[in-house]
Structure 1
Amino acid sequence: MNHVMKICLGAALSLVTLVPVAQAEDFKLSNNQRIACSRGLAPGKLNTATCKSYAYIFNVKTSEYFRCQVTLALTRDNKEVINVQSDGSCAKKPRIFDTDSNYSFDATETEPPNTNSFFGTGGYAVWASDNTARKVRGCIIITSGLGSDISKCLDMKFE
């Protein structure tokens, strides 16, 4: 009886270790990472450069995705680097499609602030397609500046 318990426990452990591997294969990194840097002058002839980069991790089965951001800020004077700070995290976003399937995904960020941008940075577009059917959805997400994102997704028509 003890031998049977060991076999069952071994089988259960091997099954538990296989489940995360299968789930990890469902996630893909988007092909469209961007980096944007800005720099500024501070009192005392200090220079500060701040760089941000975004990437998207997409679940090809559920169409759920994560928006990830990493930031590096570097402060220096004319002779040396005085301070380096970095930060980063991923935020879970809702599903693009309601049902599970086999999806492809890509995303892009808005341009840095300039005279043509109304809202500045904080917006992005995502595209997802169903690999098993002719189904494509495009979404634009813009930060309203009031604490919430405005999101609109449309299904593409094939004419």
Structure 2
Amino acid sequence: MIRMHYGMKICFGAALMFVTLAPVAKADDFKLSNNQRISCSRGLSAGKLNTATCKSYAYLFNVKTSEYFRCSVSLALTRDNKEVINVQTDGGCTKKPRIFETDSSYSFDATETEPPNTNSFFGPGGYSVWASDNTTQKVRGCIIISSGLGSDISKCLDMTFQ
């Protein structure tokens, strides 16, 4: 009986702490971009093995601070004529800097270039980011490309309205 009473006190205390701290621990508002892309490639390996690799990107945007995360996921599947031999997955999100210097209420979208091709002079290509302030007429467009030297080059431009 004493143990049950003590257990109820602990549960009540934990519930009270959760209820009182929940508003303080409220996270910023995040929004997933609407423009996810996927690209896949196939190849033949020695011994008549087929390999398919798919990669997709998405963006998670903090609508208050204009910071964002570039997220990627990839899957590589190797098979022969009869069975799947190997499946490998990888992925994660990388935090990127703010687009606007001050907190507000922002909208956001991003898009990736196609996989390496003739339009991709410096490596795997890049992506573009568009963000707008929901409280005023303010839009910023950014293009981020790989320099081919291990770093990205990012330039943003505030849009003018005519």
Q: If the length of structure 2 is used for normalisation, what is the TM-score?
A: 0.86
**2:127 is matched by which residue type in structure 1?**
Y
Matched, 1:79 2:82: yes
**2:46 is matched by which residue type in structure 1?**
P
* Structure 1 stretches of at least 4 aligned residues deviating more than 4 Å after TM superposition: 7-12
Partner of 1:140: 143
Matched, 1:23 2:27: yes
Partner of 2:44: 41
SS at match of 2:23: helix
C-alpha separation in 2, matches of 1:107 and 1:65: 10
Describe the shift of the 1:84–1:133 C-alpha distance in structure 2 as closer, same or farther (beyond 3 A): same
C-alpha separation in 1, matches of 2:24 and 2:52: 43
C-alpha separation in 2, matches of 1:130 and 1:106: 12
Q: What number of residue pairs does the alignment pair up?
A: 151
**2:31 is matched by which residue type in structure 1?**
K
Matched, 1:96 2:96: no
SS at match of 1:83: strand
User: Could you tell me which of 83, 88, 113 is aligned with 2:116?
Assistant: 113
Q: CA deviation at 1:115?
A: 2.5
Q: Is contact 1:68-1:89 (8 Å) kept?
A: yes
**1:17 is matched by which residue type in structure 2?**
A
**1:51 is matched by which residue type in structure 2?**
C
Q: CA deviation at 1:42?
A: 0.7
User: Could you tell me which of 60, 65, 70 is aligned with 1:62?
Assistant: 65
What percent of counterpart residues are identical? 78
Q: CA deviation at 1:10?
A: 6.8
**1:16 is matched by which residue type in structure 2?**
L
Q: Is contact 1:139-1:154 (8 Å) kept?
A: yes
C-alpha separation in 2, matches of 1:107 and 1:113: 18
**2:94 is matched by which residue type in structure 1?**
A
Larger Rg: 2
Q: If the length of structure 1 is used for normalisation, what is the TM-score?
A: 0.88
C-alpha separation in 2, matches of 1:42 and 1:9: 57
SS at match of 2:104: coil
